[in-house]
Structure 1
């Protein structure tokens, strides 16, 4: 079954594409092409968008979902390593924006894909940031979009660095529970031992041993959880 993008990815696509009911020229190209409409749609009804075309929002959303589904299938076929839903969504948004590649630079022939498939997950945000130009000019909109894609990529994921490993710390043994348990038993032992006679002293020793055994068991479970 083809992997689809999650709701967060769709929401981000709508946010960055922005809905336009009337066709408009590409602001970053020299000749204004391609004309775009809806949520970044350059093709409607099987033809290129033309000046004067209009569209309603529900239809624009339907076309966006179809486009992302097609892009998701292509991206899924190219990546060779496991990725989270948010990471997958970020890749789909990126590929949808820059194109799949082939004769022109795009996702399929990008350094980003090569590094990712080599297992270098940490390289992805920086590689995304490189794609910030249109016709050789840095575009603020693309800079911000790449940052949003990098944010989605990193969301909910733990990334190890050269100095920090992705491992959890063992809990400290000195917890309120151990202190309370040991303190209660030792108090009871002291109370019994304060009496006179061999029976009281024997019971006091028993309480002390019990306190030590409970504390040792509790600490062992905390330091070496199963």
Structure 2
């Protein structure tokens, strides 16, 4: 059962969770309201963690949505003048382009020889580097459903719709426990408690990341080898589409 906002506020008060003032910002694809507030960036990830921990009681999934002045660009897919996002490919196609057994073998050999898999990467959440960030609450059974519920268009120039992101996030949740933290206008971030730890899984997942979001390599770290040595060892995964 999903708590109403007054019930949610009461629960947060009882747990000493500082819920900000909320307003109805949009209507999700399932007809439920999307609520939004504003918090200091330095407090954003801590509040996200607290609200995520309460999700099983509340039914509301928290999302950090970046600059409050730009919230409309995050929720643009829910405007009445927008239809559903592009159909896009199916999940296996999104994650499989270029992910051949030979490519995995070659990258895994590089990882085994050059990458310290015991190194623990840090947490990098965009919101904590911002003065203020929007916080959205979306009625969702799980975080990976949120891009579809928001018809998120942050990668529409790559022909990816919210439903496509939901499928990708679901497989990463099932494999690595990944949970959605951030949806900005063109940024998606995941908290990953069980990151890959073997050369083969690091290699395959790095190639999947490149297939899903080529800009993080082509306009970012420069190679899938660099991606395997950085993002794949971190506790958060960052995706960005130009």
Q: TM-score range, shorter-chain basis?
A: under 0.3
- Please say which structure displays the higher CA radius of gyration: 1
- Structure number with the bigger relative contact order (C-alpha 8 A, sep ≥ 6) is 2
Give the TM-score of the pair, scaled to structure 2. Answer: 0.24
Give the TM-score of the pair, scaled to structure 1. Answer: 0.25
* Larger helix share, 1 or 2: 1
